[in-house]
Amino acid sequence: MEEAIKAMEKCDGKVKVGAVLVVDGEVVAVGSKMGGTHAERSAIEAARERGLNLKRAALYTTLEPCVDINTGQRRQCCADLIVSEGIPEVIIGRYDPNPNVYRKGWKRLRDGGVRLRDFPMDLRNSIDAINDKFMDFFSSGIGPSGGAKIDHKEPAKFRIQFSADDNRYMEIGWTLCGINAAYGSAVDPVKVALARFASNFDEVDDPTAYEFGHSARIAVGEVGVFVGPEACVLVKPKEIQSGPDYGAENHFVKFDYVVRIIKPRSHSLK
Ligand SMILES: [Zn+2]
């Protein structure tokens, strides 16, 4: 596990991932995510070049192996590659905070008959410390109401789970547009609107009644509404900082939110 974390340091991108293959207690190949090639693939290809049989190997990877996100992906995803190589055991450092991958890599491996274990917490923390901006980029909260702070360098996505008992969620985005205001940004099927002149959640009667789009400017003290097929999430920014005073590339958004369910969860899906 420590060798895999060390391999993270050689990566060139923002998201650092390291992987090592171990056979009979010995490290036989090391991979670092580089130039778009994932660490797991790089370790597996290095082992292949040496003609090694991986049917008794364990793969230690600092990030959950990926699954196909885009249709028509050029390369086989790492989870499928691991299964097709017949690697019997994978030890995962950190589950991918990207909701498009989170736990899907684990599931794909489990369904492929791979034995799975996790890194211990102290080593997971070491991984997060190396990838701190990546981990901040996808943060999340649990409804039906709450508050959050996002401190980030890029457009930030925030995932709000409807409630502790309802694991459906909506993803909302923030991009900054200056001091004291931000653009709420939404990706289909979610849309966003400003509840113009409202200054608290109680003033919003039917949250689906507004003019929705993919982006809406929401200033501190105003109320914005994200609407999706199953719920609305009302947001109220309390503090927004960006620009030269805060650090030209850094953005900070502190906001309250409340979830209003449109479509109750169907119990037959449970
Ligand atoms: Zn991958």
Contact 134, 107 (CB under 8 A): no
In the prediction, which pLDDT does 70 show? Answer: 63
Q: Find the 73 Cα to ligand 1 centroid distance in Å.
A: 11
pLDDT along the chain (270 residues), means of 10: 96 89 97 93 96 96 88 83 97 84 91 96 90 68 86 75 91 82 91 95 95 94 96 94 58 89 73
Which sign does the torsion angle of CA 252, 254, 259, 260 carry? negative
In the prediction, which pLDDT does 225 show? Answer: 98
Q: Find the 64 Cα to ligand 1 centroid distance in Å.
A: 8
Q: Find the 78 Cα to ligand 1 centroid distance in Å.
A: 4
Show the CA angle centred on residue 35, arms to residues 174 and 88, nearest 5°. Answer: 95
The pTM of the whole model exceeds 0.75: no
In the prediction, which pLDDT does 230 show? Answer: 95
The verdict on whether omega for the bond into residue 99 sits within 30 degrees of 0, i.e. cis, is: no
In the prediction, which pLDDT does 152 show? Answer: 66
In the prediction, which pLDDT does 270 show? Answer: 43
In the prediction, which pLDDT does 72 show? Answer: 66
Q: Find the 194 Cα to ligand 1 centroid distance in Å.
A: 38
Active site residues: 40
Q: Find the 180 Cα to ligand 1 centroid distance in Å.
A: 38
Name which of 257, 178, 183 is nearest 213 in CA terms: 183
